Amino acid sequence: MADTTHAEPARILNKAFSLTSTDGRLTTTVDPDFSNAPESLPPEKGFPYGGLLAALCVQAMRQGLGITAPLQTLTVQYLAAARYGEELEFRPRMLRDGRQVTFATVEAGQGDRLTHHSSGTFGINIEDRPALYDRRQTPPALDGQSEGYGMPGNMAPRFASQVEYCFVDGPNIMGGNADRARVERCWMRMRDGQPLDELRLCYLLDALYPPSWTGFHRPPMMTSIDLRYDFLTPPTPQNAPEGWAFFEFSLIQHEGSWALDDALAWGADGTVLAAARQHRKVIGS
């Protein structure tokens, strides 16, 4: 009998990562299941998940501009929340197509209303050059760690249903790190059973609550304003076995109306796969 464990997640994610090309237009419709609202609330109480929108920006640049070089950096500015059930159009533009480095941008919107803007840098990597590693580390063993998202009640956001989490000394949401560094560490992979790639890394690098939420017993609501990704080592079946990678989310500063935090993703061999930095706005301040 065929193993259908990953069949439904694969169908959902393949559709979510896809853009329809019609007469030169790249479009999609964001499913409410990818809301950042808790499962206990209607999806309209939250926004379309930023990690998915970042992945779609990469897909739009590759599909619309024919870019094949490895992705090096991605930045996304979230201008306004996209609406569910309404066509979302991506408009990529080539800035410079060089032999070694390519620069592109993409605007996304619904009608005349821009929802987000992104820029990407793509380029080849010469692997026989000298290398230095300051962030290389051996991740803790995956076996024996606590599994599951682990947030109290039905607080897990809807988009998290597509991710498998395996926490190390956590989760610490709702004040678990009130008296220590606001850091959350866990293994993660997508539930579709597919190998880890750049689209799935885009998704996973934003797939945890803000690390400042581990320092508050009653965390304030926040929204992403600016998200940056740097891709360093391409994921492979060897450094990301069965799609797993190890992540560390850490707070830099939360003060007044703003919060800034980092994320790092390591392969099982200790190489840094990607880094992220996110600027968030505290809602209501």
Query: What pLDDT is stored for residue 1 in this prediction?
Result: 43
User: Judging by beta carbons within 10 Å of its beta carbon (0-12, 13-18, 19+), is residue 88 exposed, middle or buried?
Assistant: buried
117 CB-near residues (< 8 Å, 6+ apart): 76, 77, 79, 105, 106, 107, 108
7 vs 26, higher pLDDT = 26
Query: Quick check: 144 pLDDT over 70?
Result: no
CATH for 7-128+138-282 is: 2.40.160.210
AA identity, residue 112:
D
CA-CA distances (angstroms) from residue 229 to 13, 178, 226? Answer: 21, 27, 10
Q: Rounded mean pLDDT of the chain?
A: 92
AA identity, residue 162:
Q
CA-CA distances (angstroms) from residue 100 to 68, 223, 226? Answer: 12, 35, 27
Query: Quick check: 63 pLDDT over 90?
Result: yes
How far apart are alpha carbons 191 and 166 in whole angstroms? Answer: 13
The model's pLDDT over 185-196, given as tens digits with 9 standing for 90+, comes to 999 999 998 999
Q: Which residue has the tokens 């109290």?
A: 152
Domain residue extents for the chain: 7-128+138-282
Query: What pLDDT is stored for residue 140 in this prediction?
Result: 92
Are the C-beta atoms of 212 and 261 separated by less than 8 Å? yes
Whether the model clears a pTM of 0.75, i.e. scores above it, the answer is: yes
**Closest by Cα among 99, 90, 96, 147 to 123:** 99
